[in-house]
Structure 1
Amino acid sequence: MTTTTPERDHRSTTQAPPPPRRGLSWARRLRKDWWIYLFLLPTILGYGAYTIYPLLASWWFALLDWPGFATAGTFVGLENFERLIGDELFWNAFWNSLVFLVIAVPARVGLALLLALVLNAKKTPFKGFFRTLFFLPVVTTGAIVGVVFTLLLDAGGPISLSLVWSGLIDSPANFAAEAGTSLFAGIAVWVWKWLGITLIYWLAALQTVPQSVHEAAMIDGAGAWAEFRHVTMPLLVPFLVIITLIDTVAAFNVFDLLQTLTGGGPSFSSEVIEIFIFRTAFQATVPQLGYASAAAVLFGLITTVFALAQGLGMRWARSRMGTS
């Protein structure tokens, strides 16, 4: 006579788990939770009217010869893009945007890292005060910052007079209104305005470095520079990639600041692509909305490339942090 063990009885009486339920289709979810989408409707309509439609319309307008006054433009195909290739002012704006990018982004990233290291040190007093002080310009509108610095950088402003008094320059100068300095003045103001947000990124990154790593470096007799170079910085490389790419994309959005600070002048010396598009579409004697749309399409493609690079860089950084 065979006997049944308790374990066998338990297995025989245990029921198999029910099959997983398939998710509801989109149409059924819409019928079931229609009131949620009702609350989202104003946002969806606004986003479609002010973001999606202008984005798609600009691709069509780029193929037209349209001054904006007529109800419809004349279809010219890729003629606007061919004009852009031979337009010296467009390439001047492109070059200014590139110079802005190459100088402003490393300055913002590097200076913010230096400040973060100082504010992250245990012996630094009034950390909260200085963090707030550096972050305040971030919450200020770029147009307002441009207007204020127009007065500060004027020949009779405090910055110019202070430099004359210190002997660094011989005579007062309006840095935002001179061809040789207007673009660099815009770079300096942009870095000052957005330094606080990059500082927050670096402070958050420094919190991920274990305290035991610092203690081990101190026990081994490493100085401050050696610890940063051989211990801290290698651990911050993934964050460096992410922060640099974020700041790179942000460096393309400088219209409000430069438009109020320099207006792209003098003699187009500080005109970036955004100001070129605005001037061509709205400030020219005869507006050229089709031509400006072609420039906007090219600018959008360039920005998209950097946005894709940002996504790939973030994916690489996450994988690097996951394996470290």
Structure 2
Amino acid sequence: MWVWLFLAPTVVLYGVFTVYPIVGSYWYSLLDWDGFTTTKTFVGLANYREVWHDPLFWQAFWHTLLFMLVTVPAQVILSLLAAILLNSPKMPLSRVFRTALFLPVATTTAIVGIVMQSIFDPANGPVNLFVQKLGFDGGINFLGSSHTSLWTAMAVYVWKWLGITLIYWLAALQTVPRDLYEAGSIDGAGPVQLFRHITVPLLKPFTIIITLLSLEASLHVFDLIQTMTGGGPFYSSEVLEIYIYRWAFGATVPRLGYASAAAVIFGLFVFVIGILQLLGVRAARRTGVGS
């Protein structure tokens, strides 16, 4: 009885804020409802058909996929290179650099997005002032151009979350015995050979887990995109989370049922990524990495 008593707050909060919204989204996706009035019309799968034939939905889906395909390799590779440098005993001030790279992770994403609006301001932002000194008259409107807004958000995202992946890699590198590097050096292996024949094989299980964790995290970028670009200009940086939010709360006439249908489809996509993550963790365990 005492066990259930202590578990009750967690069970109630999880049920109210996680289970109920998930179940509710499936039900709302079958309704024509604005989310504010008591008038609810059952429309079946009509919302799903409309979402399926909406080109802006597929554009947002493509932006979400592109965001994942670009940021994850960049984040994983750059953080690995940084971890190798900072893990070296010959690297001076390694703790200072670790702290500096991790500081953006500890900063609220919404605040980062707002600050980046000022940094990339086309008139007085420091980035554009530097670009103008390089000879680009008028600078570049990084967040106001449909050609650069999404890519700018990607760059900020990689910078923002590089530190968390760095910590993963640093923990993984601690599992590689120093004796192997010393033995390889005695045999005449250089830094590239040590990395290729010792570091890479031993980090393979960690690579699977870190990559899959980064994949799932890259799908949840609502706060960054919303504060930096709001999905604009002209939907050029709109990802699925922004698309769902726009129809649920940002439209002149909100359509919570339609937004819920889009959210269910997005949830199924995230579910597939979660399955891949589960399979990846199992594969990593088979190759020698614990839970």
Q: TM-score range by the shorter chain?
A: over 0.9
Letter paired with 1:305: V
Question: Deviation per CA, 1:267-291, whole angstroms, max 9, x where unpaired?
Answer: 0000000000000111111111000
Name the CA distance, whole Å, in 1 between partners of 2:272 and 2:78: 26
Helix, strand or coil for the counterpart of 2:254? Answer: coil
What's 1:154 paired with? 121
Question: TM-score w.r.t. structure 1 length?
Answer: 0.87
Task: Give the share of equivalent positions with the same residue, in percent.
Answer: 55
Name the CA distance, whole Å, in 2 between partners of 1:183 and 1:48: 35
Which one is further off, 239-248 or 213-222? 213-222
Which one is further off, 245-254 or 206-215? 206-215
What's 2:131 paired with? 163
Q: Which has the larger radius of gyration?
A: 1
Q: In the alignment, which of 208, 220, 223 is matched to residue 190 of structure 2?
A: 223
Helix, strand or coil for the counterpart of 2:245? Answer: helix
Question: TM-score w.r.t. structure 2 length?
Answer: 0.96
Mark the CA change 1:194 to 1:81 in structure 2 (over 3 Å): closer, same or farther.
same
What's 2:287 paired with? 320
Name the CA distance, whole Å, in 2 between partners of 1:249 and 1:126: 32
CA contact (8 A) 2:83 2:166 kept: yes
Name the CA distance, whole Å, in 1 between partners of 2:23 and 2:186: 61
What's 1:97 paired with? 64
Q: In the alignment, which of 291, 299, 310 is matched to residue 266 of structure 2?
A: 299
Name the CA distance, whole Å, in 1 between partners of 2:284 and 2:35: 46
Q: Does residue 73 of the first structure (1) align with residue 40 of the second (2)?
A: yes
What's 1:19 paired with? none
Aligned residues: 289
Helix, strand or coil for the counterpart of 1:321? Answer: coil
Give unmatched runs, 5+ long, in structure 1.
Answer: 1-33
Name the CA distance, whole Å, in 1 between partners of 2:209 and 2:97: 24
Helix, strand or coil for the counterpart of 2:165? Answer: helix
Q: Does residue 282 of the first structure (1) align with residue 249 of the second (2)?
A: yes
Letter paired with 2:46: E
What's 1:206 paired with? 173
CA contact (8 A) 1:65 1:291 kept: yes
Name the CA distance, whole Å, in 2 between partners of 1:39 and 1:237: 41
Letter paired with 2:61: F
Question: Deviation per CA, 1:176-226, whole angstroms, max 9, x where unpaired?
Answer: 121110001110111111110000000011111111211121112111112
Task: Report the Cα offset of residue 162 of structure 1.
Answer: 1.3
Give unmatched runs, 5+ long, in structure 2.
Answer: none
Letter paired with 1:163: V
Name the CA distance, whole Å, in 1 between partners of 2:137 and 2:85: 34
Q: Does residue 178 of the first structure (1) align with residue 151 of the second (2)?
A: no
Equivalent runs, 1:112-123 vs 2, <5 Å: 112-123=79-90
Helix, strand or coil for the counterpart of 1:280? Answer: helix
